[in-house]
Amino acid sequence: MTRRFLQLALPSPLRQTFDYILPAKLDPPPAGARVRVPFGRQEQIGICLGVTTATEVPEAKLRAATEILDSEPVLPASLFTLCQWAADYYQHPLGEVFDTALPVLLRQGEPVASPGELRWRTTRLGELFPTDGTIRRAPKQLEALLKLRDHPDGLIPPLLASFGIERPTLLALQKKGLVEYVTLAPPEPEKAPEGLREPHYPLSAEQKAALEAVNARAGEFHPFLLFGITGSGKTEIYLQAIAAVLDRGLQALVLVPEIGLAPQTVARFRARFQAEIAVLHSGRNERERLEAWRAARSGRAGIVIGTRSAIFTPLARPGLIIVDEEHDLSFKQHEGFRYHARDLAVRRAQLEKVPVLLGSATPSLESLANARQGRYQLLRLTERAAGASRPAFKLIDLRQQKLQEGFSDPLLQAIKGTLDRGEQVLVFINRRGFAPVLLCHDCGWQAHCRRCDARPTLHRAPTRLHCHHCGSESAPPVHCPSCGSSDLRPVGLGTERVEDFLRQRFPKAPLFRVDRDSTRRKDALTKLYHDIHSAGPALLVGTQMLAKGHHFPKVTLVALLDIDGGLFGADFRAPEHTAQLVLQVAGRAGRADKPGLVLLQTHQPAHPLLHELIVAGYDAFADRMLEERRLMSLPPFGYLALIRAESTDAEKPMAFLQDVASAMEDGLEAWGPVPAPMEKRAGRFRAHLLLQASRRPALQAALAKLVPRIEALPDARRVRWSLDVDPQDIT
């Protein structure tokens, strides 16, 4: 008999496939099935890519697979292809891509289908067996038999144990043929229940046009960009488009940003639909994730909602893919397999032949450019739903103003007026903690993180210096380590300091601080939202956690203390991201019947970017940014890849990237290597090499050649290096 070999993708950083012997006693698995193999001194589970009769590996070196776990592929063909495509596109090892795509428990060998429940029940003989005979001498067995006779559908072991019926007793009965241990089939994947729990809203003309456009493309690949201001009813369109998909017996996949998967998002879907909703996000345990994955794969769940990695959830009958807040940075994975879930969503829709709907009030420049070039169909919503009016923007010129803890007089007056009217105020400051700098007033010394090129943030309760980059914490010094002075002062503002100031200034108004520190406990955020909703006039102080997704109907004033740093920051994407943040925060204001006001404090009131953003709107702002990007051949008009290297040795990263740059062929432009903007982080030195190409295929081809050369470099194992295709932040 000819020998057969398995080609496997294994979770390993090596960019290669692995060959194993298929023992004669095992049936050849289909591509996409899981296979257990020895790997080093351990076992691993890999994904079968194919079965061959030849291998280039000398046979003495080959080991045999130990177990075939599946008789059918774990992932449907479209997802299998998506994973392979992503591995190529991001130049990432395929085994690790599968590792991201599959729930942890499946990677550990759990069955794909729900195994159903194992139960004890009586056999036919057990039903009829006389209880006045020999069995009377075994009272435990008698008791067990009688109990099971009362439960013709059988009982699960834990329940039997709770009646004091143990396994040896049951085994004895089994030996006599009186009871059996059976698997009851898992619930049949039924068609998703249809129908609405609550009626849809009647749509505005704009909403109606958008919905009809999406519905008209059922059953074909068609990308849409739904560009609608905050509160314009985008979610309502998702809900109604999903209803149409469910009506046709299909499933919808909805991706939301990490922060957007607050319980109320899911609640809104649950309130509308009868259909089962599978929810996948990091807050769920592995068992729950697997169950949700199974519900999606079997077709039982009509709707699948999840964060980034949910893009890899299999669907039995895909009908529509939605990416809400498509500009959100959390869709890009920032380490390991650095994929962009939005981009994969578009690719997946193409493979599944379904429409894909990207929605945002502040679309990414990439998606806007795609829409302007006609690759995506643009759907606009320019009015707020339910008659609410758009918030008005006003700049407060900070130059020469006297500031109290970062607040100008006009801003304080506006806050007072809002509270007096019984309404709520949202103060946005994108820095948690008390103050970003601890400074010696006598000699100018500043606290510095020992492991990073960064200043640690001063936090209080307990008072400590906390580096947000490496996580290290220490007690702040009492005396200046440089001159011994005790005049150490916190400089700059964080949420805690703003909280202190506002509490003292407006002692009667309840204050809610929303940032990573105040929401660490499970359910803390839900409780905060709840308290904010039931409060009367109140102050909300928070970071971007406050900016996204959530509606605060009583907020009529939004204050942005200082965004100059972000808007005019160093990274070429900084203005885009800051503009998105400003509009998202602003969108929290005046959602209900009362109009909202947004006050922006700035030292640069005449800056054209700011002017465009708040007067002409995001469209005009995006036009200017796109024009700048075009002139510089930056995305979306050029294509980037970033190679990062780091090491505890200060010289190595730069030297290594120099070698990488020399290994490169024409067709790419290389910028650098340069030390990273924060050269030292968590005790390691970091450097960057940015690669740029004018066309995507050129970048792809060059990277495919470059990566094996990098791997062959002598230092490739001595530095930590990574490749980031389409990097979102260059820090």
Q: Residues interacting with ligand ADP, by CB under 6 A?
A: 201-204, 207, 228, 230-236, 385-386
Q: What does 233 interact with, of ligand ADP, Zn ion, none (CB < 5 to 8 A by kind)?
A: ligand ADP
- Work out what residue 480 binds among ligand ADP, Zn ion, none; the CB cut-off runs from 5 to 8 Å by kind: Zn ion
Give me 309's structure tokens: 């990695």
Least distance CB 577 / ligand ADP (angstroms):
19
* Pair type for strands 42-52 and 5-9: antiparallel
Q: What is the smallest separation between the CB atom of 331 and ligand ADP, expressed in angstroms? A: 17
The set of residues, in sequence order, having a beta carbon less than 8 Å from that of 328 and lying 6+ positions away, is: 257, 258, 260, 548
Closest approach of Cβ 553 to ligand ADP, in Å?
Answer: 8
Tally Cβ neighbours within 10 Å of residue 629: 20
Which of the choices Zn ion, ligand ADP, none does residue 386 contact, using the CB cut-off of 5 to 8 A by kind?
Answer: ligand ADP
C-alpha 369/C-alpha 376 separation (Å) is 9
Smallest distance from the beta carbon of 326 to ligand ADP, in angstroms? Answer: 12
User: Residue 234: which of ligand ADP, Zn ion, none does it interact with, CB under 5 to 8 A by kind?
Assistant: ligand ADP
What's the min distance (Å) between Cβ of 484 and Zn ion? 7
Q: How far is the CB of 203 from ligand ADP (least distance, A)?
A: 5
Q: Which is closer to Zn ion, CB of 469 or CB of 554?
A: 469
Q: Report the phi/psi class of residue 231: left, alpha or beta, with left for phi > 0 and alpha for psi in -120 to 50.
A: left
Helix or strand or coil: residue 400? coil
Beta carbon nearer to ligand ADP, 236 or 352: 236
Residue spans of beta strands (DSSP E) within 1-139: 5-9, 18-21, 34-39, 42-52, 67-68, 117-122
DSSP-derived secondary structure letter, 159: H
Work out what residue 467 binds among ligand ADP, Zn ion, none; the CB cut-off runs from 5 to 8 Å by kind.
Zn ion
Nearer to ligand ADP, 269 or 428 (CB): 269
CB atoms within 10 A of CB 77: 11
Could you tell me the smallest distance in angstroms from the CB atom of residue 591 to ligand ADP? 7
Q: Which helix (H) or strand (E) holds 349?
A: helix 341-352
The residue among 62 and 244 lying less far from ligand ADP, judged by its C-beta, is: 244
Question: Which of Zn ion, ligand ADP, none has residue 451 at its interface (CB below 5 to 8 Å by kind)?
Answer: Zn ion
Q: Are 251 and 304 in contact (CB under 8 A)?
A: yes
CA dist., res. 134 & res. 118, Å (int): 29
Q: Which residues bind Zn ion (CB under 5 A)?
A: 440, 442-443, 445, 449, 451-452, 467, 469-470, 480, 482-483, 485
Q: Rounded to whole angstroms, how far apart are CA atoms 394 and 613?
A: 11
Cα separation, 662 vs 674, whole angstroms: 15
Report, in Å, the least distance between residue 322 CB and ligand ADP: 11
Q: Nearest approach, Cβ of 573 to ligand ADP (angstroms)?
A: 23
Measured from the CB atom, the residue of 210 and 414 that comes closer to ligand ADP is 210
**What does the block give as tokens for 284?**
């769920």
**Distance separating alpha carbons of residues 408 and 367, to the nearest angstrom:** 37
Tokens of 632: 């510089």
Partner touching 31 among Zn ion, ligand ADP, none, CB below 5 to 8 Å by kind: none
In the complex, least distance from residue 262 CB atom to ligand ADP, rounded to whole angstroms: 13
Residue 231 interacts, among ligand ADP, Zn ion, none and using kind-specific CB cut-offs from 5 to 8 Å, with ligand ADP
Q: Which is nearer to Zn ion, 443 or 632 (CB)?
A: 443
What distance in Å separates the CA atoms of residue 309 and residue 341, rounded to the nearest whole number? 7
| Contacted entry of Zn ion, ligand ADP, none for residue 470, CB cut-off 5 to 8 Å set by kind | Zn ion
Please say whether the beta carbons of 678 and 622 come within 8 A.
Answer: no
- Closer Cβ to Zn ion, 375 or 489, answer by number: 489
Whole-number Cα distances in Å, 290 to 222, 279, 280, 355:
30, 10, 9, 26
**CA 199, CA 195: separation in Å to the nearest integer?**
10
List the single partner that 493 binds among ligand ADP, Zn ion, none, CB under 5 to 8 Å by kind.
Answer: none
Task: Find the shortest distance in angstroms from Cβ 379 to ligand ADP.
Answer: 12
At its nearest, how many Å lie between ligand ADP and the CB of residue 257?
A: 13
375-to-339, 366, 503, 619 alpha-carbon distances in Å: 21, 11, 51, 18
Residue closer to ligand ADP (CB basis): 237 or 369: 237
| Closer residue to ligand ADP in complex, CB, 204/647 | 204
Q: Residue 717 burial (CB < 10 Å; 0-12/13-18/19+)?
A: exposed
Q: Of the two residues 10 and 381, which places its CB atom closer to ligand ADP in the complex?
A: 381
Q: Which is nearer to ligand ADP, 590 or 653 (CB)?
A: 590
Residue 480 or residue 511: which is nearer to Zn ion going by CB? 480
* DSSP secondary structure of 186-239: PPP-PPPP--BSSPPPPPPHHHHHHHHHHHTTTTS-EEEEEEE-TTSSHHHHHH
